[in-house]
Amino acid sequence: MLKMVLALCLMGSFAFAQTMGVKDIPADGETTIEIKKGPNVKNEFEVVTSEDEIEGDAAPLLKDARVNWKKACADWKSETKELNKENQVLTLSCGKMTCSTVSMESTCRSQTKVKIKTRIK
């Protein structure tokens, strides 16, 4: 692996007419040689994906249960956006609604997904 990386580095150095020395780097174990041009900028943010479940209030009619789920979805999105002080929320999705009826009451629920940009400390 090291020989392949060194060969690629040397081929790149010939293409750009630059030289570099790798004499003092030990070849035993894992070795990574990284060459970058420009300022050394560390990634300050990480993108985190989170999933949760939302559920609308139960209702005797399926139509009302769907309306309750839509309200629960809108409330969840509103609360998440209120907490978005530093423009950290990248995507919000309530997911696909599924409804079920138990004991003459219908309930609709779904899996939510949110992508949030968080600062790495």
Residue-wise pLDDT tens digits, 3-15? 555 555 555 544 4
Residue type, 110: S
**What is the pLDDT confidence band of residue 61, given thresholds at 50, 70 and 90?**
very high
- Tell me the pLDDT of the chain averaged across its residues: 79
**What is the pLDDT confidence band of residue 45, given thresholds at 50, 70 and 90?**
confident
Handedness of CA 34, 37, 42, 48 (dihedral sign): negative
Is the distance from CB of 69 to CB of 112 less than 8 angstroms? Answer: no
Higher pLDDT, 94 or 35: 94
For 23-44, write each residue's pLDDT tens digit: 666 667 777 777 777 776 676 7
pTM assigned to the model = 0.59
Is the distance from CB of 105 to CB of 56 less than 8 angstroms? Answer: no
**In the numeric block, which tokens belong to residue 17?**
């007419």
